[in-house]
Amino acid sequence: MSALIVLLGAPIAGGLLLAFFGHRGAAGLINIAVAALSFAAGLGLALEVFAKGPLLSGGRLFYVDAFNVYLLLLTSFVGLTTALFSRRYMAYERTRGRVGPKSLRLYHSMYQGFLFAMLLALSSNNLGVLWVAMEFATLSTVLLVSLYRTPEAVEAGWKYFILCGVGIAQALFGTVLLYFTGHRVLPDGQDALLWSELYGMATQLDPTVILLAFVFIVVGYGTKIGLVPLHNWLPDAHSEGPTPMSAVLSGLLLNVALYAVVRVKMLMDPGHSSQLAGHIMMGFGLISFLVAGLFIHRQRDIKRMFSYSSIEHMGLMTFAFGLGGPLATFGALLHMTVHSLTKSALFVATGHAAQIAGTQSMDKIRGLIRTQPAVGWSLLLGTLAIAGLPPFGVFVSEFLLLTATMQQQPIFTVALLLGLVIAFAGLFRHLHPMVYGEAPAGQRPIAVNTLPISLHLLLVLCLGIAIPPVLTQWFNQATWLITGQRLL
Amino acid sequence: MLTDLSIDQQAVLTLAALVLFTTFAMLAQRSLLTLIQVFAWQGTLLALTTALVAQSSGQHHLYFSALLTLSLKAFFIPWLLRRLVVRLDIVRDVEPVMHTTVVMFIAAALVVFSYYIVLPVEALAVQLTRNTIAVGLSVVLLGMLIMISRRKAVTQVIGFMTMENGLFFTAVAATYGMPMIVELGIAFDVLVAAVLFGVFFFHIRSSIESLDVDRLNRLSEEERR
């Protein structure tokens, strides 16, 4: 319990503190310290849950089990490493004059606010609070997307605000419907949105109402996952905002939205024999996966390209969770982890690359490996990892997902393989000249912090070679929670 | 039939009809200030519905949400929007509503569609709930239609807030509101959103020198530059 208080309290306190001191030189360090505190608490919480099983606390307001505890840990970890990156990055942006003291205060404060929203959404037992936290995550990042105040940035921010706002309103309608049906089986209104209570009664929930609720929730949170055709905001928001923001949006926000959908699916499955929820998710997932892969080819902006790659991977995960079954779910959980680690590392590398070249346009970024080998290699290795090449962890999870698809719905294997090849070709077509091409005259290396990148890629590499037994056990437990079966 | 309902329930139905009516009125309204006024009336109707449900169901925490709704949606947000409109000097702006007839037809179709969706709920709910959920959903969809059919940033925000009103209406009329903590959270989010929208108006204005969101068209998948 105390770990949970620190986990959620640290970002609130940090956010308030940075609202006043966010422009000072030490702000980057404070940001790191707060994120580190939060991560330490996350680690403590994970150990506690691992030893004692699911934790229900705070008047049943918080519920932490194997499924969300690893996402909590992942979120606080990526929050910490991105804070490490953000310190140098924002300092450089300030010397370039792209941000002023006011913007820096806003940035640092809202960075913590966003982390708080993510952690609250993950640990909340109340589906209504989960919604509130998701909406707050949008609100806290919307001004960060438009932080640079260029016409493009303002447009991206507005689009993000409106589209996610409309999307998430659908999710609230779904939540109201859930409450409506929950109220019929749980007489005390206070209980009817608590996930732990609803889960116990899942077979008694009215199937038609919950189906309706699920559809609204998929569309609503699906907007935040970036499922095609609701994905329009995502590439804009990722490309126009400051890069640390892109890293946490891609690495964390999308995961949390998918987490919310899976939680509701868990409520729906017991009462429906037909796997309808799964089929809806498979459809959305597969379309997103294929369309995003094609869109990678025609991008010109490096951050846009990687954000389409995020849509592609989120599509794959949505498909896998929809497929159901222990193997696919295990693979999807692993994929969530490795994607979020790899993608945030990639955005860090991209941020450095864009600062070296002074532009995000891929036609103008050239010869990174000559100018600054560390950045060139990070970008190259990160892209290799995200494209699913062995020995990185993404390969393992994609392999598991393909195997599961072959077992359960062999027909889709072709589509998946095709999509993977398309995305692979798209990424490398753009990457090759950026890394190896002739460096423009006068291109100079900059001060970088490669620790976040190497740490993330090392972890992904380890996960690709051998998953530690502790983690396997976690994933296994989470798989059991979601599907009712164990994989191992 | 309708006569089986108590007076309170009939009153809730009447209010539902009025909420739906105000939404249609917003869809067709051209002048910004009048639009904001209609929006404020809708907020008042919502607060009234909440108070009525609180009285008839004995759920006393709903009185508090009624008060919150009244202060937030009938007074604060309309006041904020009006002030912004004055400060941005767009009081006299009249927004052409494109294809009014078509939009109205679509709106009517959306209402029918909402009833069609809600039909399966009939099996377990009384007639009152079925109607209120259908009206709530219609208001949400019509709010979306306002956002799609209009071009001014201010109107889009009103569409957005209308959707929120529809959600709130559903929650109050069908389930006697949500648990207090959720309602407070939602109210907080709406408040923050309203303020942020205000900030955005100025940003949009300074970046494209207009509040026509149609002109926010630099980012797209078409070939650029």
Tokens representing A245 are: 């923001």
Does residue A220 sit within a domain?
no
Please tell me which of the candidates B121, B164, B203 has its beta carbon nearest to residue A169.
Answer: B164
Name the DSSP class of A254: H
Residue to substitute from A61, A146, A162, A240, interface B, most B β-carbons within 10 A:
A162
Please say whether the beta carbons of A220 and A170 come within 8 A: yes
Nearest residue to B167 via CA among B19, B10, B67 = B19
Write the pLDDT tens digit of every residue in A410-433: 999 999 999 999 999 999 999 999
Cross-chain CB nearest to B124 (options A143, A165, A206): A206
**Using CA atoms, how far apart are residues B69 and B63, in angstroms rounded to an integer?**
10
How distant is the Cα of A329 from the closest Cα of chain B, in angstroms?
Answer: 30
Is residue A451 a part of any domain in this protein? yes
Tally the domains of chain A: 1
| Helix then strand then coil, % of chain A, to nearest 5 | 80, 0, 20
- The complex scores an ipTM of 0.91
Q: What is the pLDDT of residue A337?
A: 94
| Minimal Cβ distance to B117: which of A159, A206, A212 | A212
Classify residue A392 by its DSSP letter.
Answer: S
Q: Per DSSP, what are the bridge partners of residue A194?
A: A126
Contact list in A for residue B221 (CB cut-off 8 A) is 295, 298
Give the Cα separation of A353 and B25 in Å (integer).
52
CB contact under 8 A, A165 and B204: no
Give B155's contacts in chain A (Cβ within 8 Å).
none
Pairwise CB contact (< 8 Å): B207 & A209? no
> Does residue A189 or residue A397 have the better pLDDT?
A397
Q: Residue B9's domain spans which residues?
A: 2-213
The letter for the amino acid at A247 is A
* Selected residue of B118, B189, B205 to mutate for chain A interface (largest A Cβ count, 10 A): B189
Do B194 and B77 form a contact (C-beta atoms < 8 A)? yes
- In the predicted model, is pLDDT for residue B198 greater than 70? yes
A240 touches B at CB < 8 Å: yes
Q: Would the pTM count as exceeding 0.80?
A: yes
Alpha carbon of residue B71 to chain centroid = 15
Any domain includes A121 = no
**pLDDT tens digits, A288-327:** 999 999 999 989 899 999 999 999 999 999 999 999 889 9
Would you say residue A17 has pLDDT above 70?
yes
Is the model's pLDDT at A53 over the cut of 90?
A: no
Residues B101-143 pLDDT 10s? 888 999 999 999 999 988 877 555 666 778 888 999 999 999 9
**A143 interfaces chain B, CB cutoff of 8 Å:** yes
Q: Distance (Å) from the C-alpha of residue A132 to the closest C-alpha of chain B?
A: 6
Query: Is residue B2 predicted with pLDDT exceeding 70?
Result: no
Measured CA to CA, the distance from residue A190 to residue B4 in angstroms comes to 30
Whether the per-residue pLDDT at B94 is higher than 90: the answer is: no
Angstrom distance (rounded) from CA A265 to CA A213: 10
Tell me which residue has tokens 């379309």: A287
| Residue A57 reports pLDDT greater than 80 | yes
- Mean pLDDT for the stretch of residues A265-284: 87
Is residue A397 in some structural domain?
Answer: yes
Q: How far is A139 from chain B (nearest CA, A)?
A: 7
Q: What are the structure tokens assigned to A225, written together?
A: 């996952």
Closest-CA distance of chain B to residue A450, Å: 31
Structural domain boundaries enclosing A311: 274-488
How far is A451 from A341, CA to CA, in rounded Å?
A: 13
- Domain membership of residue A64 (yes or no) is no
A:B CB pairs within 8 Å: 133
Distance from C-alpha of A212 to C-alpha of B11, rounded to nearest angstrom: 27
For residue B126, tell me if it sits in a domain: yes
Counting the structural domains of chain B, the total is 1
pLDDT surpasses 70 at A365: yes
In chain B, the residue whose alpha carbon lies closest to the alpha carbon of A150 is: B207
In angstroms, the Cα distances linking B217 to A152, A166, A306 are: 9, 19, 22
Residue B31 has pLDDT above 50, yes or no: yes
Does residue A105 lie in a domain region? Answer: no
Average of pLDDT values for A396-422? 94
Q: Which pLDDT score is estimated for B225? A: 42
* Closest CA–CA distance from residue A75 to any residue of chain B (Å): 22
Inside any domain, residue A353: yes
Task: Please indicate if any CB of chain B lies within 8 Å of the CB of A102.
Answer: no
Tokens encoding A179: 């409450």
